[in-house]
Amino acid sequence: MLREEDVIFRSNGSVRKRTKAPPPESGKKYRPMGDIMRTAKPVCPVNEDYYSYIRCEQCRSGEREDELVLCDRCDMGYHLYCLRPIAVRVPVGPWFCPSCTGGRTVRRFPQLQKMIVDFFRIQQSTNAPEDEELRAFHSEVRKRRRRSMPLVRHKKMRRILPFTPSKDPKQRLEQMCSLATALTALQMEFCNDLTYMPGMAPRSANKAIYEKGGMQLLAKKDKETLEICRTMYRRGECPPLVVVFDSCEGFTVQADKDIKDMTFITEYTGDVDYLEKREDDDCDSMMTLLLGTKTSQSLVVCPDKRGNIACFISGINNYTLEGRKKQNLKCVRYNVDGECRVLLVACRDITRGERLYYDYNGYEQEYPTEHFF
């Protein structure tokens, strides 16, 4: 017998019988939770005593437990300084040990000119006046180097020198490819400027007049050097540096040719944010940009999403004489047209193949470097 609920009236008045839905497919049958709980093996509750027996899987020591970090998958412990590469701080959020992550593989960036040009947004310009300006500037630099003067006076008038790019285009391509490899491995974008993102510090907050005790002005000649170096970088003429991966130090930078003392290496770039918003951040590459008279004015550069080769330059171990001897760069904050900028400059002659190091604690003694190599 046709029931009323089994009838569908169409818009034209005709009647169609409702078809019955097919029976559900027999899926996987699950055991009742009561049966599972009755047959499950008892597990000892985790308390403070459980963690008191944790040992570092590398050195087998349980000392310095404040520097022990536990894997969120296998619960094994490692000292921060026993990890390779070492970890500077206890990470925020989930962390997995080398055994659970299966090691780290670095995928090399394709050494193709078109991909390099796109990645670094190189401006392929044939602007003759700009070329003439570069030649005139380099000629002036050579004159400055040859000019003789008393030693004392020479030291007082020391100027920042522009870097000299490698002449071989293939060598420059290899250098930029190494940087692109490191940036993509950390899922970062290349950026050679300070960036001001929504939700972070605005550009109006970066004022050198807020610096506690004042900030030194960048001299006119040095400012010209900075702009010339930035112009060269936009044209694909990069500093003679390569980024290499070291099993102990991670990504690090070394000279690809001899570099003279007082040569400009790079500017420290990345997202600008307020220090008070980043106090609990585990990014180990943050750089002080502004130490304000008020805490709310202090700024940092955060190269966790955008940055350049500066974030891969290693820091020295301040606690050992051998560590301090490695320093070949100085990190200086300057007032450039009213804004704070951070420049890395060679503080002595650097030979080809030598790794670059500077003092992470040049302004504040807060960065833990006692376990650096």
Judge whether 58 and 67 are in contact, CB under 8 Å.
no
- Between 132 and 80, residue with greater pLDDT: 80
Measured CA angle at 85 (ends 360, 323), to 5 deg: 40
The average pLDDT across 80-105 equals 74
CA distances from 24 to 21, 32, 65, 95 (A): 9, 20, 56, 43
Instruction: Please give the pLDDT value at position 13.
Output: 45
The average pLDDT across 214-223 equals 94
Measured CA angle at 94 (ends 88, 96), to 5 deg: 75
Judge whether 138 and 162 are in contact, CB under 8 Å.
yes
Q: Is the pLDDT of residue 4 over 70?
A: no
In angstroms, the CA 183 to CA 155 distance is 37
The average pLDDT across 215-235 equals 94
Task: State the distance between the two ends of the chain, measured CA to CA, in whole angstroms.
Answer: 88
Give residue-wise pLDDT tens across range 14-51.
Answer: 444 445 555 555 556 677 877 777 777 776 665 555 56
Instruction: Please give the pLDDT value at position 15.
Output: 46
Instruction: Please give the pLDDT value at position 156.
Output: 54
Instruction: Please give the pLDDT value at position 155.
Output: 47
Question: For residue 262, what are its two tokens?
Answer: 């007082």
Q: Is the pLDDT of residue 239 over 90?
A: yes
- Between 285 and 309, residue with greater pLDDT: 309
User: What is the percent of the chain with per-residue pLDDT over 70, rounded to a whole number?
Assistant: 74
Instruction: Assign 11 a pLDDT band (cuts: 50, 70, 90).
Output: very low
Instruction: Please give the pLDDT value at position 67.
Output: 81
User: What is the percent of the chain with per-residue pLDDT over 90, rounded to a whole number?
Assistant: 46
Judge whether 321 and 306 are in contact, CB under 8 Å.
no
Q: Is the pLDDT of residue 126 over 70?
A: no
Instruction: Assign 360 a pLDDT band (cuts: 50, 70, 90).
Output: confident
In angstroms, the CA 227 to CA 242 distance is 22
Phi and psi at residue 59, to the nearest 5°? -100, -5
Residues 6+ apart with CB under 8 A from 117: 124, 236
Instruction: Please give the pLDDT value at position 104.
Output: 61
Judge whether 250 and 182 are in contact, CB under 8 Å.
no
Judge whether 280 and 205 are in contact, CB under 8 Å.
no
Q: To the nearest whole number, what is the mean pLDDT of the chain?
A: 80
Judge whether 329 and 357 are in contact, CB under 8 Å.
yes
Instruction: Please give the pLDDT value at position 68.
Output: 84
DSSP designation for 217: B
Instruction: Please give the pLDDT value at position 154.
Output: 45
Q: Is 323 helix (H, G, I), strand (E, B) or coil?
A: helix
| Helices (runs of H) and strands (runs of E) counted in the chain | 9, 17
Q: Is the pLDDT of residue 149 over 50?
A: no
The average pLDDT across 70-83 equals 83
Measured CA angle at 303 (ends 318, 275), to 5 deg: 75
- Between 285 and 319, residue with greater pLDDT: 285
Give residue-wise pLDDT tens across range 295-352.
Answer: 899 999 999 899 999 999 988 777 777 878 889 999 999 999 999 999 999 999 999 9
Residues 6+ apart with CB under 8 A from 125: 235
Global confidence as pTM = 0.72
Question: For residue 312, what are its two tokens?
Answer: 């891969």
Instruction: Assign 363 a pLDDT band (cuts: 50, 70, 90).
Output: low
